[in-house]
Structure 1
Amino acid sequence: MQIVYSQTKNKTADALFDKMYYIEAAKSYELSVKNGDASKETLQRLGDAHYFNTQMQRASEWYKKLLEEYPDEVSAEYYFRYAQSLQGIQNYELAKKWMKSFSEKQKSTDSRAENFSLKTVTIEDIKKIKPQFLLENLDINSAYSDFGPMFYKGDLVYSTTIDSSYLKTAKYGWNDQPYLNMQRGKISPAQSNVTFKERFGKEITTQYHEACVAFSADENTIYFTRNNYNGKLKRDSKGVNNLKIYSAKAVENNGTVRWENIQELPFNSDNYSVGQPSVSKDGKKLYFVSDMPGTIGSTDIFVVDILGEDQYSNPKNLGEKINTSGREMFPYITDKALYFASDGFLGLGGLDVFESRLNDGIFDSPNNLGAPLNSSMDDFGYIVNEQSNKGFVCSNRKTGKGDDDIYSFERSCTQSIEGYVFDAISNAKIPGAIVALKSNNQEIEETVSKMDGKFEFTENILCGTPYTIEASKENYTPSSKAISTSENSGISEVPIGLDPALVERRDGILKIKIGIIFFDLDKSDIRYDAAIELNKVVLLMTQYSSVVIKIESHTDSRADDQYNLELSDRRAKATRDYIISQGITPERIESAIGYGETQLINNCANGVPCTDTQHQMNRRSEFIITKM
């Protein structure tokens, strides 16, 4: 969400703020407040100067004062930023209150309002996500910023401010740190640590920022983010120096790689930023972040097709499933998923890492990867080898060595099984059902479905493993379902339908299950014992008012064929009339037809010697459910 800033009385501070020199701007604005200027504009910019530099404690203090002094004059964005800064200092209860206020104030125009509406996933749900990651701070981290890791020829290329002073002594006004350049590190055999190997890409290094790289599938093309600089630093009409993506080609000579033919990509602009590239594993698509026209929020993730010969398709926004009214940043694409950082979905504070699984070319709704990968601060720059489940992520959490640090991680595969038990006829949820989890016919765990029919198994569930879920409840037929959990961490959803005890399924057909309907010889009158069984049909149809049936009556092969056909038809219609007499409306009985001996269920046809028991199997009435 972009905010149009009004000027304050402090022109020096405004100029620093507009150039994104936030540390110096904050100092100057605080001096203004000390001298009596507590205007809305000054408090806004003062809070933002700290917020953009992830100084969440200071940001929350100034946003609190802003909302106390000008509650009805500030935009909903400041409710959001105050809530985010509170999350950043782990004051989740107060953050929840202000997120709710933000949702109420902005609900009609901002996708974050729905994401933070607290109607579905809550902060408590995020905090309860089962830990999947073991993190280690790397030896290469310094007191300044180290981030933007990317795999390259078995090593790690990353962005850092360390050793940058060999080019200059200037510092970047945003965070008062040296400018970024790139280095190459050696990944340890266990992939848990990285040690410095060499400076990387001297040919593409300037006196400004170079960071956040990606490589083509053959690793012969590099894509990197740089200030809008080509011998001269360019600024837009507002005085902002935007970012651009550049490419360069590898030229190898005696084992030494030089990066040549440096070009900026054609969808760059002097008027907006483009950066943080990621290339698909097949080398056909380039994902990146931008605030170009068509952006939904502050920054969105876009994609272009790589057409070859330095040609690209027009950028395509990934849409509202991925992008929000907040910031989506640092995409990393694999064959299986898109990983990215966002503050537009519910999270633990600042940027959180999200995973959107890729199914048939379509991205699923993003899932927060939970703590400890995510924290109350900014967590981003996630890359992973999905075969080993090991990778790297960046964070500015307070337990690090400096500002942004790079951490190695190993992701354990964790699963849970959730579902609900429901009536297979009415679809109503069934509470109090006994649900058992089994593996290799051995029971692992048993639970009882809740009032909404839900159940869950969370302990010791393995990935890529077959299980059987069995459910039972009095007056229902027990049911079981075989599942196999995913090879990746996640939740297996298992709904289980139970048929009422009076219903049976056979060859895909639903039938009402009752005892034999007996008739006197050569008669179709409903006997007392037949009425007892037919009342079970009436009971089920009364309980399930949408059920429609058809009645079929059958005889054995003894007696004349035509006689049997006519007798069974009379009995079918007598059965129908009895059910209607008990209060079931006629339209709920689709048909009542006798089939005589035309549909025998064994070999006891005319002339075939059979026992009375074998003939009895063919003398039957069936009540087939046609609608539910």
Structure 2
Amino acid sequence: MEKRIIILALLIIQMVNSQTKNKTADALFDKMYYIDAAKSYELSIKNGDASKEILQRLGDAHYFNTQMQDASKWYGKLLADYSAEVPAEYYFRYAQSLQGIQNYELAKKWMKSFSEKQKTTDSRAQNFSLKTVTLEDIKKIKPQFVLENLEINSAYSDFGPMFYKDNLVYATTIDSSFLKTAKYGWNDQPYLNLQLGKVSPTQTNVTFKERFAKEITTQYHEACVAFSPDEKTIYFTRNNYNGKLKRDNKGVNNLKLYSAKAVESSNGNVRWENVKELPFNSDNYSVGQPTISKDGKRLYFVSDMPGTIGSTDIFMVDILGEDQYSNPKNLGEKINTSGREMFPFITDKALYFASDGFLGLGGLDVFESRLNDEIFDTPVNLGAPLNSSMDDFGYIVNEETNKGFVCSNRKSGKGDDDIYSFERSCTQAIKGYVFDAISNKKIPGAIVTLKNNENQELQQIVSRIDGKFEFEENINCNTPYTIEVVKENFTTSSKALLTPENSGITEVPIGLDPNLIERKEGVLKIKIGIIFFDLNKSDIRYDAAIELNKVVLLMTQYPSVVIKIESHTDSRADDQYNLELSDRRAKATRDYIISQGIAPERIESAIGYGETQLINNCSNGVPCSEAQHQMNRRSEFIITKM
């Protein structure tokens, strides 16, 4: 887990442990030679020294080298013997190592203990205890990815893929051109160098092509690159090295970001020249793992510089011009946690990154934060099989093809870290709820039907007691569908939708109007039959009362509804006479409704408009049929408040 953090990018700020009596092991540990240090600490335990300091460092030596079985063993003993004396961070590391061996129930217990012991607010504990998303929810995420182990993977560490032209640049320890027998003490592997791989036409495999950018290669680590959109500038991570290694005041060699320019020869070969340090590097902290926005205007990277929220955070700078950058800006608490955020990859649609500070399946998990108007959404775990109980990181994707690459040290791989190709299926889950559009109350027992663009029925379900529904099968992305909802005493509703271009959940609330409600040009009206009056009279007849009782019924069922009454005549007879007659009829209608128990204040107005609002061309002097005139003789009940 931790080896690639140092190798690639970012030194973890480790707790300062007291020195043990095993000075040889301490020296190895301080140099980050964890394999040899672990052996030496285990020898101390065999000789009877199982002190707190020995157990801490032995657990850490295995934890930093992703040996989770051994790490959980020694952390377990540490907490069994010294639980009251060790920092809360060891509770977290123990929980993480338990997740790494898929002991999720025990991990949950110790994460809770971590939360209780941590006296200050720690986002890791908060994220693991969120009630909105549980570990069970993440396990239930429908698989979106098909992974293939690549041909280029070796028994050592292969990771850090990045697109370059039609190829793939990646870091590996399999072929170190400088002192091939030299090993990195952290994990007893050769130093990392960059390679160029040929991507197969199906983008499912990569074969070795040649060493990449030999001119920027040193005898130490180079890894994790990014390219400007025109691919004429490379940004890469390297040990703090300029002829010799530089160390901070603690003796640590930090990592830095460098840039270089492509110089193309007449035969098409590219050399990378003019290597420069980026101005926000420092000898006192690490900077690395670059990614460039699609427009080339922003550079994202990982660092433990001052202002870091957790162990390592994702930062951003604006690229202002040739070798000119803004001051680094932390992406903030929505993205960064008290844990580790690293391996960012930015597209025009999302930020992808690895983290152990959010709820996950173990170690580092890959998360996606959708990008909306330059604002990052809450990160979402991408689930298995992309994520596993081990470390999963280094995710890059072509958003157009949904194909890309990801890294993992899962046990099914060829070696330490392996690179996998993947294809991401794009599916949507459609769910929602049915509600009464007037009262907003949820409607159970509605028949909800999903139809395709050809009006063919795909699925049919019934809304639950809380009005909610969810179609069982995943739905295609970027595809038109129609949802039809039918319920007795309500008007059937059909809602067209176009699913988003990316996988996720589309929530569709659907409101149903009662049968007595109609919507016309955005206006809500109570729908009843024609109100008949005797010639030249405004008295409420028996047949008119039957229709008006429907208005009374609806207003009784929906006590918050307020209406206004409008009465109209046809164009026959004198204009002023029609205006006065319609007004008397409107007010007679109002009085009848009030007489049936409706509060007067719920009728906003009752006004007659005569022939001033004809709905056809049957004005004065225009010959029309009786049916055409009848269309204009109407009473309308308009809902003004619900």
Question: Normalised by the size of structure 2, how large is the TM-score?
Answer: 0.91
1:520-531 pair list within 5 angstroms = 520-531=534-545
Asked if the contact 1:321–1:365 (Cα under 8 Å) also holds between the matched residues in 2, the reply is: yes
Report the alpha carbon displacement of residue 520 of structure 1 after superposing the two structures with TM.
4.0
Work out the CA distance in 2 between the residues paired with 1:32 and 1:222: 47
Report the alpha carbon displacement of residue 54 of structure 1 after superposing the two structures with TM.
1.9
Counterpart of 2:422?
409
Counterpart of 2:406?
393
1:348 and 2:357 correspond: no
- 1:476-527: CA deviation from partner (whole Å, max 9, x where unpaired): 1111111122333333332222112221111111112222333444444444
Asked if the contact 2:433–2:442 (Cα under 8 Å) also holds between the matched residues in 1, the reply is: yes
Asked if the contact 2:430–2:474 (Cα under 8 Å) also holds between the matched residues in 1, the reply is: no
Work out the CA distance in 1 between the residues paired with 2:86 and 2:434: 48
Select 2:20's aligned residue among 9, 31, 43.
Answer: 9
Task: Give the 4+ runs in structure 1 shifted more than 6 A.
Answer: none
1:315-354 pair list within 5 angstroms = 315-354=328-367
Counterpart of 1:120?
132
1:185-200 pair list within 5 angstroms = 185-200=197-212
Counterpart of 2:561?
547
Asked if the contact 1:18–1:239 (Cα under 8 Å) also holds between the matched residues in 2, the reply is: no
Work out the CA distance in 1 between the residues paired with 2:119 and 2:436: 36
- 1:504-556: CA deviation from partner (whole Å, max 9, x where unpaired): 11111111222233344444444444343333323333333332222222222
Report the alpha carbon displacement of residue 224 of structure 1 after superposing the two structures with TM.
0.9
Report the alpha carbon displacement of residue 443 of structure 1 after superposing the two structures with TM.
0.7
1:509 and 2:523 correspond: yes
Select 2:105's aligned residue among 93, 96, 100.
Answer: 93
Counterpart of 1:252?
264
1:597 and 2:594 correspond: no
Asked if the contact 2:428–2:506 (Cα under 8 Å) also holds between the matched residues in 1, the reply is: yes
Counterpart of 1:142?
154
1:181 and 2:193 correspond: yes
Q: Look up the SS of the partner of 1:164 in the other structure.
A: coil
Counterpart of 1:418?
431
Report the alpha carbon displacement of residue 293 of structure 1 after superposing the two structures with TM.
1.6
Asked if the contact 1:10–1:29 (Cα under 8 Å) also holds between the matched residues in 2, the reply is: no
1:219 and 2:241 correspond: no
1:563 and 2:574 correspond: no
Q: Look up the SS of the partner of 1:370 in the other structure.
A: coil
Counterpart of 2:636?
622
Q: Which amino acid in 2 is paired with 1:319?
A: G
Work out the CA distance in 2 between the residues paired with 1:227 and 1:378: 23
Work out the CA distance in 1 between the residues paired with 2:516 and 2:21: 81
Deviates most, 516-525 or 435-444: 516-525
- 1:565-592: CA deviation from partner (whole Å, max 9, x where unpaired): 2232233233333333444333332222
- 1:344-400: CA deviation from partner (whole Å, max 9, x where unpaired): 222221111122233333333322222211111111111122333222111000000
Asked if the contact 2:366–2:387 (Cα under 8 Å) also holds between the matched residues in 1, the reply is: yes
1:402-481 pair list within 5 angstroms = 402-439=415-452, 440-459=454-473, 461-481=475-495
Work out the CA distance in 2 between the residues paired with 1:23 and 1:364: 40
Q: Which amino acid in 2 is paired with 1:193?
A: N
Q: Look up the SS of the partner of 1:500 in the other structure.
A: coil
Distance 1:202 1:617, change over 3 A: same
Identity percentage of aligned residues: 85
Asked if the contact 1:107–1:114 (Cα under 8 Å) also holds between the matched residues in 2, the reply is: no
Distance 1:43 1:548, change over 3 A: farther
- 1:272-299: CA deviation from partner (whole Å, max 9, x where unpaired): 1110011223222211111112222221
Q: Which amino acid in 1 is paired with 2:635?
A: S
Counterpart of 2:311?
298
Distance 1:492 1:35, change over 3 A: same
Question: Normalised by the size of structure 1, how large is the TM-score?
Answer: 0.93
Distance 1:27 1:514, change over 3 A: farther
Q: Which amino acid in 1 is paired with 2:20?
A: K
Asked if the contact 1:107–1:113 (Cα under 8 Å) also holds between the matched residues in 2, the reply is: no
- 1:146-190: CA deviation from partner (whole Å, max 9, x where unpaired): 101112232211111112264253322322222211112222222
Counterpart of 2:325?
312
Asked if the contact 2:20–2:53 (Cα under 8 Å) also holds between the matched residues in 1, the reply is: no
Aligned residue pairs, count: 628
Distance 1:332 1:551, change over 3 A: same
Work out the CA distance in 1 between the residues paired with 2:515 and 2:352: 47
Work out the CA distance in 1 between the residues paired with 2:276 and 2:130: 46
Work out the CA distance in 2 between the residues paired with 1:391 and 1:305: 26
Work out the CA distance in 2 between the residues paired with 1:290 and 1:124: 32
Asked if the contact 2:215–2:273 (Cα under 8 Å) also holds between the matched residues in 1, the reply is: yes
Asked if the contact 2:178–2:219 (Cα under 8 Å) also holds between the matched residues in 1, the reply is: no
Report the alpha carbon displacement of residue 105 of structure 1 after superposing the two structures with TM.
5.8
Q: Look up the SS of the partner of 1:58 in the other structure.
A: helix
Work out the CA distance in 2 between the residues paired with 1:527 and 1:72: 87
Q: Which amino acid in 2 is paired with 1:316?
A: K
Q: Look up the SS of the partner of 2:39 in the other structure.
A: helix
Work out the CA distance in 2 between the residues paired with 1:526 and 1:105: 77
Work out the CA distance in 1 between the residues paired with 2:467 and 2:93: 38
Report the alpha carbon displacement of residue 72 of structure 1 after superposing the two structures with TM.
5.2
Q: Look up the SS of the partner of 1:126 in the other structure.
A: helix
- 1:191-242: CA deviation from partner (whole Å, max 9, x where unpaired): 2222222222222222221111112222222211111122222222333221
Work out the CA distance in 2 between the residues paired with 1:473 and 1:108: 53
Q: Note the aligned Cα RMSD (angstroms).
A: 2.6
Deviates most, 441-450 or 557-566: 557-566
Asked if the contact 1:168–1:207 (Cα under 8 Å) also holds between the matched residues in 2, the reply is: no
1:288 and 2:305 correspond: no
Counterpart of 2:58?
46
Q: Look up the SS of the partner of 1:250 in the other structure.
A: strand
Report the alpha carbon displacement of residue 627 of structure 1 after superposing the two structures with TM.
2.1
Q: Which amino acid in 2 is paired with 1:534?
A: L
Distance 1:560 1:340, change over 3 A: same
Counterpart of 2:6?
none
Work out the CA distance in 2 between the residues paired with 1:329 and 1:32: 35
Select 2:222's aligned residue among 187, 196, 210.
Answer: 210
- 1:86-105: CA deviation from partner (whole Å, max 9, x where unpaired): 22222233334444555566
Select 2:514's aligned residue among 480, 500, 504.
Answer: 500
Structure 2 unaligned regions, length at least 5: 1-11
Deviates most, 7-16 or 100-109: 100-109
Work out the CA distance in 2 between the residues paired with 1:625 and 1:97: 56
Work out the CA distance in 2 between the residues paired with 1:436 and 1:621: 36
1:163 and 2:171 correspond: no
Q: Which amino acid in 1 is paired with 2:206?
A: V
Q: Which amino acid in 1 is paired with 2:274?
A: N
Asked if the contact 1:354–1:368 (Cα under 8 Å) also holds between the matched residues in 2, the reply is: yes
Report the alpha carbon displacement of residue 441 of structure 1 after superposing the two structures with TM.
1.1
- 1:17-59: CA deviation from partner (whole Å, max 9, x where unpaired): 4443333343344444455555555444433332222222222
Structure 1 unaligned regions, length at least 5: none
Asked if the contact 1:7–1:14 (Cα under 8 Å) also holds between the matched residues in 2, the reply is: no
Distance 1:527 1:328, change over 3 A: same
Select 1:82's aligned residue among 69, 85, 94.
Answer: 94
